[in-house]
Amino acid sequence: MCGIVGYIGAEETAPILIKGLKRLEYRGYDSAGIAVLGSAGLTIRKSKGALKNLEEKIEGELGAGALDGTMGIGHTRWATHGEPSDINSHPHTDVSGKIAVVHNGIIENHAKLKVWLMEHGVSFRSETDTEVIAHLVNFYYKGDLLQAVIGALKRLEGSYALGIICENDPDRIIAVRKESPLVVGAGKGENLIASDVPALLEYTREVYYLEDREIAVLYRDRIEFYNEEGEQRQRESRHVEWDAAAAEKGGYEHFMIKEIHEQPKALRDTLRARIKIAGTKTINLEEIGFDASWAKAERVVIAACGTAWHAGVIGKYAFEKFARIHTEAEIASEYRYRNPIFNPKDIFLIISQSGETADTLAAMRLAKKSGARIIAITNVVGSTLAREADLVMSTLAGPEIAVASTKAFTTQLMCVYLIALQLGRLRGMNDTELAAHIEALEKLPEQAERILAGKEDIQRFASLQFNKSKVFYMGRLFDYATSLESALKLKEISYTHSEAFAAGELKHGPIALVDETTLVTALCTQPALFDKMDSNIKEVKARHAATAVITYDDVDYFDKTADQVFRIPRTLDSLSPILAIIPCQLYAYYCSVLRGLDPDKPRNLAKSVTVE
């Protein structure tokens, strides 16, 4: 979704804002703009389309007048109210042109506010909900920007992360958030705001994750925090472990392929932190608060969206298998509106890479109200989800910049397995079984490395198949869940029509779509069901589909049936998704590149879906 940056310090601001916006490009956007406050007053430049359009627009102005200044705010917009256009781009200003606002989120009562403001003589220029904020702040402005913002906030309903500057109040940036992420970076003689940490890393690794309804006032030499009533509060900063290099492509052509390659390390880091090695190896989740009290749960409910929901579907299979506990995997956007049945003895497992997905947070809050205990799996330590959950397990994946999730997904799976196994242990799983699973988990990073070493086979296959008009993934049990994620990856970044189905469903409908234009990839890592999968592959072959199989390296069962077999190292059936997804991620990536697309920034998609 939209990206916000802001800078106040001693440096020329416009290039810093542009650089920061570039670091947020992955969030998805369709226009961009900046506002700089300098000796020429407030200067705004905005442009529809890619950031390079804005860069071209301001090229001649840098260091030469209007855009000189050492404080400013910038924005990449992902259109919600009003089409992508120069006028609708942020920053938006009030009538006097002295107050500039950038906004991420949705002002739900903007229509009412607009009417009210128009009755007070305000005329509007854009179709956005954001413009009302600039006019409202101006309405309450009596010489103190902070007080004006506090006044305006009382009128706003909806979600917002805001950066606000004012020509008459030239030495501070006001930042505030509600239900949309905003991070404040504390530098030396300079301070910054951003929607996400990667935009700050070049300047500082000391950050404050703003809390809901918290206001930050950034001066060059200090940052003050206030609640919505204007009462000052003290905050502790957090040190970000990632360095600036973690948010660079590091020699890879795209972030996505870099992140696919980072999976062995991310898996290793995520696992290592939770294994206790004294004597027999055990899983240690007590440090994060997962103790014996959690074993009393009667049900596990997992809620998430998109890829994270797919991790939840695998979680359902894993919890039922390891802990023999009734488990549901819920799509958060459905769950929240369904009037679901709660039991205070439920464990709620909420999975979200960003920790800011609006529907996921809503499902979490609903569950929390019911008295259930919440476990969060997230990649962002200071995210809203991490702050509101009872227990947080971090995926130690490092920043995920590509829109299509890869390393966040496999590390989410690692966390899900660890929790499911530990719950299994608390509910009676024996030592031998647990030890076998830990041993298998520990092998996964190296096994993932081996799959990546053979990526050329996938690339070659993609070069033959990337123009297929339909691609189906099918599998049974854990393979069905991996199929869901494989199909999503492919459609997201290659715009190929791809679907996943439980292989047993083939005859109940999907086979009607199969013809010579179809590629069907069968995931076959559940040996007890190999014969069933073999029949399914034969059924689609008989309808002239091209067929590929992903199975273990010691299995030749499908060699005669499928056109192409890809092999992954042998692991336990229940852990196979972490490995089986890697060839599918690679396939999606290569198809995207072969189709001439940018896999890092797929059309219409945003990295963090902070609005409904």
Task: Give the residues lining the site for ligand F6R (CB under 6 A).
Answer: 305-308, 352-354, 357, 360, 404-405, 488, 492, 608-609
Measured at CB, which residue is nearest to ligand F6R?
A: 306
| Residue 151: its H or E element | helix 145-153
Complete edge-to-edge strand list for the sheet that includes strand 299-304: 327-331, 299-304, 346-352, 373-378, 391-394
Residues with catalytic roles: 2, 607
Q: Are 44 and 34 in contact (CB under 8 A)?
A: yes
Per the structure block, which two tokens stand in for 563? 């056109």
On the CB side of 604, how many CA atoms lie within 13 Å of its CA? 5
Our CB check for ligand F6R shows the closer of 134 and 260 to be 260
Per the structure block, which two tokens stand in for 405? 């999730």
Provide, rounded to whole angstroms, the least separation between the CB of residue 361 and ligand F6R.
9
Q: Strand 99-104 to strand 160-166: parallel, antiparallel, or no bridges (unpaired)?
A: antiparallel
Q: Are 27 and 607 in contact (CB under 8 A)?
A: yes
Our CB check for ligand F6R shows the closer of 191 and 496 to be 496
Provide, rounded to whole angstroms, the least separation between the CB of residue 245 and ligand F6R.
23
For 604, which DSSP code? T
Provide, rounded to whole angstroms, the least separation between the CB of residue 156 and ligand F6R.
24
| Residue 361: its H or E element | helix 358-369
Buried b (16+ CB within 10 A) or exposed e, 553-580: eebebbeebbbbbbbbbbbbbbbbbbbb
Provide, rounded to whole angstroms, the least separation between the CB of residue 308 and ligand F6R.
4
596 φψ region: left (φ > 0), alpha (ψ -120 to 50), beta (else)? left
Provide, rounded to whole angstroms, the least separation between the CB of residue 531 and ligand F6R.
33
Distance CA 68, CA 13 (A): 7
Distance CA 111, CA 131 (A): 11
Our CB check for ligand F6R shows the closer of 217 and 308 to be 308
Provide, rounded to whole angstroms, the least separation between the CB of residue 358 and ligand F6R.
9
H runs (alpha helix) in 454-516: 455-465, 478-494
Q: Exposure of 170 by Cβ count < 10 A (0-12 exposed, 13-18 middle, 19+ buried)?
A: middle
Our CB check for ligand F6R shows the closer of 138 and 384 to be 384
Our CB check for ligand F6R shows the closer of 25 and 492 to be 492
Provide, rounded to whole angstroms, the least separation between the CB of residue 27 and ligand F6R.
11
Provide, rounded to whole angstroms, the least separation between the CB of residue 440 and ligand F6R.
26
Q: What is the DSSP track for 457-473? A: HHHHHHHHHTT-SEEEE
Cα dist from 163 to 92, 99, 120, 130, 376, whole Å: 11, 11, 24, 11, 29
Our CB check for ligand F6R shows the closer of 136 and 588 to be 588
Our CB check for ligand F6R shows the closer of 182 and 308 to be 308
Distance CA 1, CA 24 (A): 9
Per-residue 3-state assignment (H helix, E strand, C coil) for 394-452: ECCCCCCCCCCCCHHHHHHHHHHHHHHHHHHHHCCCCHHHHHHHHHHHHHHHHHHHHHH
Provide, rounded to whole angstroms, the least separation between the CB of residue 555 and ligand F6R.
29
How far does Cα 15 stand from its chain's mean position?
26
Which residue bears the tokens 């804005």?
54
3-state secondary structure of 601: coil
Distance CA 135, CA 407 (A): 43
Q: How many residues does the chain have?
A: 612
On the CB side of 252, how many CA atoms lie within 13 Å of its CA? 20
Distance CA 393, CA 351 (A): 10
Our CB check for ligand F6R shows the closer of 352 and 494 to be 352
Our CB check for ligand F6R shows the closer of 520 and 609 to be 609
